[in-house]
Structure 1
Amino acid sequence: MHLSIFKDGKWIDTRSVGLDVLSFRKSSLSVKNEYESVEGKNGMIPAGTTWEGRDLTADFLIRANDHVDLVLFIDELMTLFTTKEEMGLVDSRSPGKVWFVKVDSTFTPEFVDLSTGKFTINFKSSKPWCRSIGRTYPAIDFENTEWQGLVTEPLTYKSKSKRFRIFNGGVQVDPREMPLDIVFKGASSNLQIINSTTGDLFTYKGTTKANDELHLAGIRHLKNGISIFAETNRKRITLAPGWNDIEIKGTSGAIETSFDFHFWYV
């Protein structure tokens, strides 16, 4: 196995810098439960659950020609893993998933012999999930390795119909926490975008013309790049794991709706 590291806008294969990855491990989800108590009542009342960040650990082996080269090599690796920004980590055993992490502790290489060393690095992901490398729009290419959790039937994320299905291969996508771009093009009056699977409903009280573009960019609602949040019901569309049944109402003439997002995985 090996790791691919995304840093400063480029990918670095650990094999290309002389690192052998002995192991790469992730912790389970770290849960934070909230409770309320009522005077005179036994027990507690569940008040919500949130997931905290994720811990990951990698063990590395360094091989060099001699001890001098080993010391120089260690200095280069210190530079590689020194960053204030999050870096991406991809495990070759799960090539479609990327973790965004920061180094979470000091690490001191141990000399196995004069030309070999080993060390362990602890990483922290600010999110409890990793995500797919690729995004969905306009369609998923089954020939690349930027995805996991796919089904066998074709997956497209652009539709000209009023009823269609969107597949989400990971956990629930909530635009308050994860990038989700929904774009509607076409003429409409009192437009409604409905996800029957989740029960989510978005409405726009105004009108759009054939060439107008309505954009749900995360929690922002835009028409041709200008905010229309006050003219909507101020709701969001989320995507459940698996298939989501989408319906578009209030339209006239030709329309096109697209969904662009990552899959997110535990």
Structure 2
Amino acid sequence: MKPQLELIMNNNQRVPFTEIYAKDVIDLGREAPILKNNDVEFAYTDGETEADANFQAFPFVLEFVLEVGSWVFLQTKLQEMYEVLYQRKAYYLHTNLMPGIFYKARVSDLQLTKWNGSIAQIKIEWSVIKGCGESFGTTLKPFTLESEKWQIGQGALAEDHQYIHTKNHIQIYNAGSFEINPRMHELKITIQTYSQGGFKLTNRTTGEMFKFNDNERLYDTDTVIIDGTKIYKNGIRSGRLTNLGLISLAPGINEIDIDNVSRVKTAWDFRFLYK
């Protein structure tokens, strides 16, 4: 299998980069995670005080052979690549080697490493700005290899985890390595419920609670959406009707309670994050 890289731009345009430019691929893939040590040293004390490390941006590399007929033609091809690679906004890198994970990145370097008159060897390096990979599919997409959005090793295929529920007490499984924090990551929770006066959504695993006001009656036709940090009722921004609490998802099983409702349907849509 020939390694292939596609770029997924902000307008969802997909650019089959290696298919267009690479005669042969020499190297393609991400490098190891980079941890930043945040331990603190104080004067007149031994050692350091421990603090959580954080994951920094890490390199993603493509090295390939470009077949060109002359130095002039090489300059033309390089200009074409500059137009594609250097964008104001970051875009995603997706390979056929790890089809279930993609990486949000900015190009950081492009070098012509070899040139013999007709063949150029080029090395491109990106910086993966989030410090992690993201699942190519979201939790509301089918967890099958046939969907071409998941792969073995993502922790999502072995068990039959559900992300649409009609019960008050449920489990939401985060198969990734990182907490899903709605202040930073994609997380969309959709709630349709019948309630005489508001409701309370609690993640007992993290201790977080979202509350819709007690004096707000909700019907089966009403839809409440927590989309990142934005809260909507029937498409209208409605944060003032809530306690403005947000729900994050720890790695592994999250125990969720929905209280003060007689009927409820919830949908949880997010991507898993990987080291």
Q: State the TM-score, normalized to the length of structure 1.
A: 0.86
Matched ranges for 1:1-266 at <5 A: 1-7=3-9, 9-19=12-22, 20-37=24-41, 40-64=44-68, 66-67=69-70, 69-108=73-112, 110-111=114-115, 113-137=116-140, 139-148=142-151, 149=154, 150-171=156-177, 172-188=179-195, 189-206=197-214, 207=216, 208-252=218-262, 254-266=263-275
For residue 146 of structure 1, what is the amino acid of its counterpart? Answer: K
Call closer, same or farther: CA 1:118–1:218 in 2, change over 3 Å: same
Preserved CA contact (<8 Å) 1:32 1:51: yes
CA 1:56–1:18: 2 relative to 1, 3 Å: closer
Are 1:165 and 1:243, in contact at CA under 8 Å, matched by a contact in 2?
yes
Shift of 1:38: 5.1
Structure 1 residues 34 and 163: alpha-carbon distance in aligned structure 2, compared to 1, 3 A threshold: same
CA distance in 2, matches of 1:88, 1:36: 35
Q: Deviations for 1:115-142, whole angstroms, at most 9, x for unmatched residues?
A: 2110111211221112122222265444
**Post-superposition offset of 1:250:** 0.9
How many residues align? The count is 263
Structure 2 unmatched runs, 5+: none
In 2 relative to 1, CA 196–89 (structure 1 residues): closer, same or farther, beyond 3 Å? same
Task: Return the alpha-carbon distance in structure 2 between the equivalents of residues 221 and 63 of structure 1.
Answer: 52
What is the CA-CA distance between 1:238 and the residue it aligns to?
A: 1.4
Q: State the shift of 1:95 in Å.
A: 0.7
CA contact (8 A) 1:89 1:101 kept: yes
Distance 2:33 2:53 in 1: 12
Q: Distance in 2 between matches of 1:91 and 1:131?
A: 13
Residue identity in the other structure for 1:165: Q
* TM-score normalised to structure 2 length: 0.84
CA RMSD of aligned residues (A): 2.5
Cα deviations by residue, 1:165-195 (Å, 9 ceiling, x for unpaired) = 2222212211111010101111223412122
Higher strand residue share: 1
Looking at structure 1, the residues matched to 61 and 106 of structure 2 have their Cα atoms a distance apart, in angstroms, of: 11
Contact 1:175 1:236 in 2 (8 A): yes
Seen in structure 2, the aligned counterparts of structure 1 residues 47 and 152 have a Cα distance that, compared at 3 Å, is closer
